[in-house]
Structure 1
């Protein structure tokens, strides 16, 4: 399960229930760009398709920060990220979220 906790964001995207032994991957996701983020995906590099949109119907506005918890049962630290902005532009990146414990989008 991937869940997002932020005061204005009460959305949770549910994927696969995690086994009791797997640790959750928690990181801070910051939008330091000038545009709202309308979709956020995180998938391990060995997965061929994007997982569900973490934001769901919510939007992460400029300057907002969200705490993201990935509970997918994997022991992965490296994730491919796909970020879609309100104007339709998107970026993809790969990040070691265990090492950094955060990810920032900026202009």
Structure 2
């Protein structure tokens, strides 16, 4: 079973959810599994359009990549889902606050 871990790194400046939602939300996705993640989805917690953040570029096991939820997203809290190369998937988390989280890890 895969597990997730996330690290919130607090920036020097203080953000409110409204201020952060007006800008891009950027975080590093770390894949600590042996399998490639082929799709990584984020869906706003209150409902809304599901976003695919890897843009058809896989993330190999043991690698990391900076991902961006583009400007115009009106939420900080997202549910996430990772799809692996063997078509298995993991509903990774239901409440990740990307306004407060800089690193998001998926572990085996």
Q: Under a length normalisation based on structure 1, what TM-score does the superposition of the two structures give?
A: 0.71
Number of residues of Structure 1 aligned to a counterpart in Structure 2 = 86
Alignment check: 8 A CA contact 1:42 1:80 kept: yes
Structure 1 equivalent of residue 24 of structure 2: 24
Determine whether 1:69 maps to 2:68.
yes
Alignment check: 8 A CA contact 1:97 1:103 kept: no
Deviation at 1:98, TM superposition (A): 1.9
State the Cα RMSD in Å: 1.8
Deviation at 1:49, TM superposition (A): 5.1
**Larger relative contact order (Cα-Cα within 8 Å, sequence gap ≥ 6):** 2
Q: Under a length normalisation based on structure 2, what TM-score does the superposition of the two structures give?
A: 0.70
Unaligned runs of 5+ in 2: 1-20
Structure 1 equivalent of residue 103 of structure 2: 102
